[in-house]
């Protein structure tokens, strides 16, 4: 599996493949290395994208370190991908060379089931993730965006509006759609009292999107220190979740809460903020189950739900919305080397980033 020296090569090669290179890990304890592999030859419905930028999502870190016990190696992470279309297959309708393109967390799905037909391909039982997954054949491994090029079915490629910079737009492909989808699903508008729990990679873009939809946004955070940033991003109010008095005063005030926190936490005080029939939507995935009191369910009859990224149609809609409102993520752009990625991972784990690291891929593999 491992290459010689500091390089590593894929264990499967195709005589018809296109040479690609990226950064991969060979195990949960190995460092990133240069990885030479082959992308499939483009089919008629494929788009070939030269990757310019790739965001670092906390999911990458969970996967690289095998924290969810489902990692396969070698692994090239990355699912917040932006770049430029280099080539398209003959049946591709909506892309041509030179277009700004984005690829998010998935690169295929069955496209036949009732879930796919509802434009919620992300929840298809056969959806193919952008990395640490396989193609629909359940055999061919997928490799993500810490690499110089990617070949993706047209249906799973998005257009990036020309007015958005490709670097700061990259995290929209995951962090953006993850928060946009429930905001739309629950019809956020100027009448909405919206709560965003956690001001990280997801939360900060959730605030921007919610504010752009006209909502009155309240950020709920464990730390008073985030108040000023929250306000700058577009929030109108701020609650320190550990301050019982503040939380009590705000009881029954919110229509919708998007909870972006992935660490185990008590949701009871959050549910107490909901109005009668309000909606609580988890977009993070704490390892411990949420504990929901039955009386809260009976008395408040809330909708408690969750949301996973978004479908392709909705992701394009999100990007168009961001183009119209000139919304991108706040990022720290870094050159892409095995060492800088490691540093970025360490800082992300400590929440020491405002708000997303984005790797400069184009220059790394020039």
Residues in contact with its own copies, total (CB under 8 A)? 32
Burial of 139: CB neighbours in 10 Å, binned 0-12, 13-18, 19+:
exposed
Q: Provide the minimum distance between the beta carbon of 206 and its own copies in the complex, in angstroms, as a whole number.
A: 16
Are residues 141 and 117 in contact, defined by beta-carbon separation less than 8 angstroms? no
Nearer to its own copies, 3 or 286 (CB): 286
Are residues 129 and 63 in contact, defined by beta-carbon separation less than 8 angstroms? no
* Residues 284-313 contacting its own copies, CB under 8 A: 284-287, 289-308
Nearer to its own copies, 165 or 286 (CB): 286
Strand extents, DSSP E, 136-253: 149-153, 158-159, 193-197, 216-221, 237-240
Q: Is 220 in the site for its own copies (CB under 8 A)?
A: no
Nearer to its own copies, 23 or 280 (CB): 280
Q: Is 207 in the site for its own copies (CB under 8 A)?
A: no
Q: At which residue do the structure tokens 């257009």 appear?
A: 159
Q: Provide the minimum distance between the beta carbon of 307 and its own copies in the complex, in angstroms, as a whole number.
A: 6
Nearer to its own copies, 34 or 283 (CB): 283
Q: Tell me whether strands 128-129 and 106-108 are parallel, antiparallel or unpaired.
A: antiparallel
Q: Provide the minimum distance between the beta carbon of 182 and its own copies in the complex, in angstroms, as a whole number.
A: 9
Q: Provide the minimum distance between the beta carbon of 66 and its own copies in the complex, in angstroms, as a whole number.
A: 17
- Taking the C-alpha atoms of residue 103 and residue 172, their distance in angstroms, rounded to an integer, is 10
- Taking the C-alpha atoms of residue 320 and residue 52, their distance in angstroms, rounded to an integer, is 20
Nearer to its own copies, 16 or 298 (CB): 298
Q: Provide the minimum distance between the beta carbon of 76 and its own copies in the complex, in angstroms, as a whole number.
A: 24
Q: Provide the minimum distance between the beta carbon of 296 and its own copies in the complex, in angstroms, as a whole number.
A: 8
152, 158, 161, 167: CA torsion to nearest 10: -60
Q: Which stretch binds its own copies (CB under 8 A): 16-24, 160-168, 214-222, 281-289?
A: 281-289
Peptide bond into 294 cis (omega under 30): no
Q: Is 276 in the site for its own copies (CB under 8 A)?
A: yes
Q: Provide the minimum distance between the beta carbon of 109 and its own copies in the complex, in angstroms, as a whole number.
A: 13
Q: Is 31 in the site for its own copies (CB under 8 A)?
A: no
Q: Is 11 in the site for its own copies (CB under 8 A)?
A: no
Cβ neighbours for 320, distance < 8 A, ≥ 6 positions apart: 161
Phi then psi dihedrals of residue 61, to 5 deg: -70, -45
Cβ neighbours for 283, distance < 8 A, ≥ 6 positions apart: 178, 179, 182, 202, 258, 259, 260, 306, 307, 308
* Residues 307-366 contacting its own copies, CB under 8 A: 307-308
Q: Provide the minimum distance between the beta carbon of 122 and its own copies in the complex, in angstroms, as a whole number.
A: 9
Q: Is 272 in the site for its own copies (CB under 8 A)?
A: no
- Taking the C-alpha atoms of residue 333 and residue 151, their distance in angstroms, rounded to an integer, is 24
Nearer to its own copies, 245 or 291 (CB): 291
How is 243-262 classified by DSSP, letter by letter? Answer: -HHHHHHTTT-EEEEEE---
Give SS3 for 48.
strand
Nearer to its own copies, 195 or 284 (CB): 284
* Binding map of its own copies across residues 104-143, x = CB under 8 A, - = no contact: ----------xx----x--x--------------------
Interface with its own copies by CB under 8 A: which residues?
114-115, 120, 123, 268, 276, 282-287, 289-308
């Amino acid at each position: 599996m491992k290459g010689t020296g500091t390089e590593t090569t894929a264990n499967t090669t195709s005589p018809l493949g296109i040479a690609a290179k990226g950064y991969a890990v060979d195990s949960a304890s190995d460092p990133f290395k240069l990885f030479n592999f082959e992308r499939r030859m483009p089919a008629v419905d494929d788009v070939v994208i030269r990757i310019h930028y790739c965001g670092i999502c906390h999911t990458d870190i969970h996967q690289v370190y095998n924290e969810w016990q489902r990692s396969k190696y070698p692994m090239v992470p990355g699912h917040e991908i932006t770049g430029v279309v280099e080539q398209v297959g003959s049946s591709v309708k909506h892309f041509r060379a030179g277009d700004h393109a984005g690829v998010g967390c998935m690169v295929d799905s069955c496209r036949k089931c009732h879930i796919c037909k509802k434009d919620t391909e992300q929840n298809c039982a056969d959806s193919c993730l952008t990395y640490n997954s396989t193609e629909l054949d359940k055999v061919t491994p997928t490799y993500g965006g810490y690499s110089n090029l990617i070949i993706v079915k047209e249906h799973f490629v998005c257009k990036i509006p020309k007015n958005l910079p490709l670097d700061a737009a990259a995290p929209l492909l995951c962090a953006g759609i993850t928060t946009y989808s429930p905001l739309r699903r629950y019809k956020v508008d100027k009448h909405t009292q919206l709560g965003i729990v956690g001001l990280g990679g997801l939360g900060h873009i959730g605030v921007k999107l919610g504010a752009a939809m006209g909502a009155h946004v309240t950020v709920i955070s464990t730390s008073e220190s985030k108040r000023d940033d929250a306000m700058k991003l577009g929030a109108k109010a701020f609650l320190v979740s550990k301050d019982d008095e503040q939380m009590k005063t705000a009881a029954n005030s919110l229509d919708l809460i998007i909870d972006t926190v992935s660490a185990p936490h008590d949701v009871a005080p959050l549910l107490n903020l909901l109005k009668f029939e309000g909606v609580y939507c988890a977009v993070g995935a704490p390892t411990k189950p949420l504990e929901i009191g039955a009386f809260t369910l009976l008395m408040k009859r809330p909708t408690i739900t969750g949301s996973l990224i978004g479908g392709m149609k909705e992701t394009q809609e999100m990007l168009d919305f961001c183009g119209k409102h000139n919304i991108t993520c706040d990022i720290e752009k870094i050159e892409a080397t095995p060492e800088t990625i490691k540093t970025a991972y360490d800082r992300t784990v400590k929440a020491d980033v405002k708000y997303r690291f984005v790797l400069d891929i184009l220059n790394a593999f020039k």
